[in-house]
Amino acid sequence: MPLLFKRSLLPKLRGFPLTADAVTILDSAADYRRCLLEKIAQATRRIYIVALYLQHDEAGQEILDALHAAKAARPQLDIVVMVDWLRAQRGLIGAGKQPGNSAWYQEQTRLHSSEVPIYGVPVQTRELFGVLHLKGFVIDDCVLYSGASLNNVYLHKFDKYRFDRYHLLQCPALADSMQHLVEHGLVASRAVHRLDLPNLPTTRSLRNDIGDLRSRLKHAAYDTSAGRVVMGELSVSPLLGVGKNNPLSRVICELIASAQQQLTICTPYFNLPLAVTREINRALARGVKIDIVVGDKTANDFYIPPCEPFRVIAALPYLYEISLRRFAKRHQHMIDSGKLNLHLWRDGDNTYHLKGMWVDQRYTLLTGNNLNPRAFRLDLENALLLDDPKGELLAPREQELQAIFRHTQRIERYQQLETLAEYPAAVGKFLRRVSRVRIERLLYRIL
């Protein structure tokens, strides 16, 4: 592989060898929920759950009950649940004052004789400036990887679903590496405390410990000493990143720079970092065909119908659409030529949460990274990079892409996207005010 950057990481990545039958792509959120519950029930050694949140609703209760049942049936099971510290201690946005999920965790611990510890990880002292955005569940020797958190809509418990990607990898070395990071890089930190026990320390009292944790995480990485620099074989490399110019962000840019024929990118929130936009422009200039799939603003998880009372959070989908329209306008000639294809995903009133990249017919990136400035600088992110030089996964890879494109519409002209004048009055009023005081650029950096 050619040297893409002065300090290129991609050719040096250590990975764990895989066989094609060790990788399973699940079709839907409902399949993901069923698979997760089955794996929990069958676990014999360990269950490590890492997600942004485990929600106090029917699906969340189902998952937590399954964990307690597994622990009661097999007391030797090593079970750890990790969620974001700050997210767990607040209610849902716009739902008024609520105790947060931590109160439910504590109630469940009191009700059960089995112990399922739930840890909170404070990536920052304020949620706005960074959260635990790691993904991946380790259950015995398999890794179940998705960008989804744990609640009704992500798990399609009832009528609505939030569309994501769902992969099952049978790889003991990968599972060991991901467990090791959780156990030694997070649980062992003085900043990390159990949320399912009473008398939680205040975030303010943890300020120094949080700073120390974040500093160490900037230099942390998954242990791949059991892997190797795999040449010519199917492999998976785990990646970790937090803060400016982190390894995960650098590999994402290198992957785009490595594309020679075709590149597909998925993100739910169209707000690309400058480094990503720059590499996309370079790829287009060298003739790479690029498909970008984003959610329609009505498929955004922050979207609120105009008939409901306006809340500031409701402006986010419109900000992302403004960003997409600007991008489309600048690249209209590439859209006309067919080299750039922008696709809007929409399926009824369901929502879209897909992230990741497909590079030529070789690389597939599984990640929770939203490919936005927040993900590149603030949140603690991870990813699994599948390197498939022989094309052993091309058939399931193509099936996954077909499922993603099934509910999309190509943007032929940038004028198809609405303008500020066409937005609901309350949204337009807020966005004009934001533009006047010139904080729009700041919002794009942190949202």
CB 60 within 8 A of CB 157: no
The residue with tokens 């303010």 is 204
Residue 133 annotated in active site:
yes
Beta bridge partners of 167: 25, 145
DSSP, collapsed to helix, strand or coil, labels residue 351 as strand
CA 420 to chain centre: 29
Say which of 56, 68, 133, 343 is annotated catalytic.
133
Of the candidates 264, 252, 272, the residue with the CA atom closest to the CA atom of residue 323 = 272
Residue 353 annotated in active site:
yes
Residue 381 annotated in active site:
yes
Q: What is the 3-state secondary structure (H, E, C) of 24-51?
A: EECCCHHHHHHHHHHHHHHCCCEEEEEC
Say which of 57, 84, 164, 387 is annotated catalytic.
164
- C-alpha distances (whole Å) from 20 to each of 26, 197, 387, 389, 437 are 15, 43, 11, 12, 54
C-beta atoms surrounding 394 within 10 Å: 13
C-beta atoms surrounding 117 within 10 Å: 15
Say which of 223, 353, 388, 400 is annotated catalytic.
353
Say which of 223, 381, 387, 388 is annotated catalytic.
381
CB 127 within 8 A of CB 1: no
> What does the DSSP assignment read for 220-242?
-----TTSB---SS-EEEEEEE-
Residue 95: CB partners within 8 Å, gap ≥ 6? Answer: none
Q: Which residues are catalytic?
A: 133, 164, 353, 381
